[in-house]
Structure 1
């Protein structure tokens, strides 16, 4: 995912989901990439000098709609989202669980869901 600040995004994902950095280094177009996730899977966070942190221009759904992550304690993760200065929305109890959504600083939509 292209983000305006890969370190800030990685810190949020670490705090929310307990993910760890698997790799970090230089990448294409004078960019920087951080792979963050679990031992089995990860998300690549990428940026380069043409991505402007103050005003990123990414359109929802181009090409990605949202990313869903399952957690055990939905309320604890929501409190961390709020503490990061982000706004949860779209709360819903549905079969088979509970969920909410939030947009990060780059306009990426995240769904957080608990099946407990």
Structure 2
């Protein structure tokens, strides 16, 4: 038996704004957008076979506490990239700060937080 992750659904303040920087940084595209559960709005951004669903509720939600201390918390999302240096430049151009660089088997990586406080890992495997 085999399984492949198709998508993850995360809550953001501005799904169109988040999708816009993901298109620039990761080279993804908007696959779909429209009305969502409980009067919210969702933008699906990614590639042909996988994507992130960027959901915003009808009424502004509060900011989540630090995720590493919560059962069920989203700690970070990892994205494999072809060129880590170019991705880091794009992350900086988008206004985010790369941190926690690592160069170890099986690849190089860095992390950054977006405008929603969500942590991303960019990794390049050699």
TM-score > 0.5 by shorter chain:
yes
Q: Secondary structure at the match of 2:74?
A: coil
> Which position in structure 2 is the counterpart of 1:115?
125
1:18 and 2:18 aligned: no
Alignment correspondent of 1:38: 47
Q: Secondary structure of 1:13's partner?
A: helix
Q: Does 1:94 align with 2:104?
A: yes
- The Cα shift of 1:45 comes to 0.2
Supply the distance in 1 between the matched residues of 2:48 and 2:27 (Cα, whole angstroms). Answer: 12
Q: Which runs of 5+ in 1 are unaligned?
A: none
TM-score by length of 1: 0.91
Deviation per CA, 1:9-29, whole angstroms, max 9, x where unpaired? 101111111111111001112
Other-structure match for 1:82: 92
Superposition RMSD on alpha carbons, in Å? 1.3
CA distance, structure 2, for counterparts of residue 81 and residue 28 of structure 1 = 31
Q: How many residue pairs align between the two structures?
A: 113
Question: Normalising by structure 2, what TM-score?
Answer: 0.84
Deviation at 1:37, TM superposition (A): 0.8
Gaps of 5+ in 2: 1-9
> What CA distance in whole angstroms lies between the structure 1 residues aligned with 2:40 and 2:78?
26
Contact 2:76 2:120 in 1 (8 A): yes
CA distance in 2, matches of 1:15, 1:86: 13
Aligned-pair CA distance for 1:47? 0.2
